[in-house]
Amino acid sequence: MIGVIIAATAGGLKLRYGGGGAFPQRETGAPLQDASALQRVADLPTPPGNIAVSPAGRIFITLHPEARPDWKVVELVKGAMRPWPSAAFQTGLGEPRAFRDVLSLRIDRQNRLWTLDTGVHGLHQPRLLAFDLDSGKVVHEFAFPRSVAGLGSHLNDFQVSPDGNWIYIADASFFGKNPGLVVYDVGGRRAWRALEGDASVEPDYFIPEVAGRRMELFGLIAIRPGVDSIALDRRGDWLYFAPVTDVNLHRIPSARLRDPALTPAQRAASVEIYAPKTMSDGLSIDDADTIYISDPEHSAIVELRADGSLQTLVRAPQLRWPDGFSFGPDGWLYVTCSSLQNVLGRPPSSIAEHAPYQVFRIRPGGSAAPGH
């Protein structure tokens, strides 16, 4: 009887979460830069998640929650990790607003560092905290209601508008399988969902293969989240987004997301298929609207040009699952390498075995303000 229950459970998991083919290969050309153009910023004992670099060159990263790190958000000072804004925010001792499960962070043009707490896939209330960069003090806090980010949600990555008044969040909804975009009005302190159920936020039926590992945990659960990759152009006019395994990058005028009076059908009609893409995780964008794609399948950073063409910027084995991006001063593009093929579905011993984990930077040649 127990065997029957186990088999039925496994079958149900496979049916709901598993299966899928290989992602189609894209022609991206020979790399524009050699691997030697990658400059190592830091070696870390645990995988980094996302990154934000200030105009002054201060580097903030999250430590990937899937590795269950003791610290959640750190500042890199001469390559060494320092808990930010304090140790109490990591441990919760004496700090009721302490971090729980932070994957993404961004620096806006108002000198604030925003952090997004997923709430452990919505088990707890997901939450935004904004900190003044100079003092480290909390200057804004918002907990998302269950109607916006419930159990099974995964508020994964986000972008902040140039005026700092709007935040656009990708809810990958890995377990809930109900992906969509979340729009947050900072001044009005209100949030709503957008494009839920639209094809643009749903993953295509492929499974990543990274460094020889087919990313299907225990042969049952494919690493196939909903909308994950997200970027906002430097003017704040267009939001670009896609699931990791979608063959296309989509975009929508941000004004259509900000209008709460629109019906779901009216919003969906505003979505465009922008261009074919590689498999993607993090995105960034420069002043010329070149979009930078972290391609974990090929250990590469790929450029998606404004004309829709794809070009490999750099490909290197040390880019172990390139993940989050941020531009910094002097034209540097920073990238974290989370090496998730050695983390997801693996024991803590695997994480220790594959340490250290890197943060790199490269100069792609385009201009862009730091923080995004």
Burial class (CB in 10 A: 0-12, 13-18, 19+), 52: buried
In a domain, residue 370? The reply is no
Report the pLDDT averaged over residues 28-44.
Answer: 97
In a domain, residue 211? The reply is yes
Banded pLDDT at 320 (limits 50, 70, 90): very high
Overall pTM surpassing 0.85 (yes/no): yes
Domain range enclosing 157: 2-362
pLDDT at 4: 44
Contact by Cβ (8 Å): 342, 294: no
Interval 113-161: pLDDT, tens: 999 999 999 999 999 999 999 999 999 999 999 999 999 999 999 999 9
pLDDT at 184: 98
In a domain, residue 342? The reply is yes
pLDDT at 370 over 60: yes
pLDDT at 278 over 80: yes
In a domain, residue 372? The reply is no
In a domain, residue 6? The reply is yes
pLDDT at 39: 98
Banded pLDDT at 80 (limits 50, 70, 90): very high
In a domain, residue 207? The reply is yes
- Report the mean per-residue pLDDT for the chain: 95
> CB under 8 Å to 349, separation ≥6 — which residues?
none
Cis peptide before 85 (omega within 30 of 0): yes
Question: For the ranges 1-10, 218-227, 331-340, which has the lowest average pLDDT?
Answer: 1-10
Interval 61-76: pLDDT, tens: 999 999 999 999 999 9
Banded pLDDT at 183 (limits 50, 70, 90): very high
Report the pLDDT averaged over residues 319-345.
Answer: 97
- Name the residue with higher pLDDT: 2 or 127: 127
Question: For the ranges 10-24, 306-320, 353-367, which has the lowest average pLDDT?
Answer: 10-24
Tokens (6 digits) for 12: 């149900």
In a domain, residue 367? The reply is no
In a domain, residue 345? The reply is yes
Banded pLDDT at 11 (limits 50, 70, 90): low
In this structure, what CATH number is given to the domain that contains residue 171? 2.120.10.30
* Domain total in the chain: 1
In percent, how much of the chain has pLDDT > 70?
A: 96
pLDDT at 369: 85
Report the pLDDT averaged over residues 335-342.
Answer: 98
Contact by Cβ (8 Å): 334, 360: yes
pLDDT at 371: 75
Among candidate residues 322, 273, 266, 275, the one with its CA nearest the CA of residue 297: 322
pLDDT at 20: 94
Q: Using CA of residue 132, residue 136, residue 140, residue 141, what is the dihedral sign?
A: positive
Report the pLDDT averaged over residues 278-286.
Answer: 97
Interval 198-212: pLDDT, tens: 999 999 999 999 999
